[in-house]
Amino acid sequence: MAEKGKILIVDDEASVRELFSGVFSDEGYDVIAAEDGQTALNILQNAEIDVIFLDLKLFGMNGIDLCRQIRETKPVSMIFAITGWAPLFEIGECREAGFDDYFEKPLDMDMLSEIVADAFKKLDRWKRRYNSISK
């Protein structure tokens, strides 16, 4: 099966990283996992990844600050917030930071599979438009 695209999951819980890796690898995506923000930034410097899931409550840099940093260099990427601590993070703050959507744990992986497929379709359309304009 040809690779459908790369997904980055940033979560300090190994079980969540393993869940994403298992589900999305089975669907043909290349999944890269990181347990903290700095590791994620290092990965993003060296890999072209446009669909990103960030846990909001990470050790060190939280997901809101990480999203803001990623947006500086990846304005078109699709970045999704995931959290088990919904009351701590306001939806408005997530939108302002640049998240495209927000999901609470426990995660509905069937729904996230649809979200990921739609995200890659949208990115493909944007890239085609950009390439036709920049020629």
For residue 88, what pLDDT is reported?
Answer: 63
Using CA atoms, how far apart are residues 113 and 4, in angstroms rounded to an integer? 12
Q: What is the pLDDT along the chain (135 residues), one digit of tens a residue?
A: 557 999 999 999 999 999 999 999 999 999 999 999 999 999 999 999 999 999 999 989 999 999 999 999 999 999 999 998 766 668 889 999 999 999 999 999 999 999 999 999 999 998 888 788 876
At 129 the pLDDT is 85
Distance from C-alpha of 100 to C-alpha of 121, rounded to nearest angstrom: 15
Confidence at residue 87, expressed as pLDDT on a 0 to 100 scale: 67
Place of tokens 């890269």: 32
Q: Which long-range contacts (CB under 8 A, 24 or more apart) does 117-120 make?
A: 119/50, 119/51, 119/78, 120/4, 120/5, 120/50, 120/51
- For residue 2, what pLDDT is reported? 55
Q: What is the pLDDT of residue 134?
A: 73
Residue 26: what pLDDT? 96
pLDDT at 89: 65
Full set of structural domains in the chain with CATH: 6-133 (3.40.50.2300)
**Contact status, residue 56 vs residue 81, Cβ threshold 8 Å:** yes
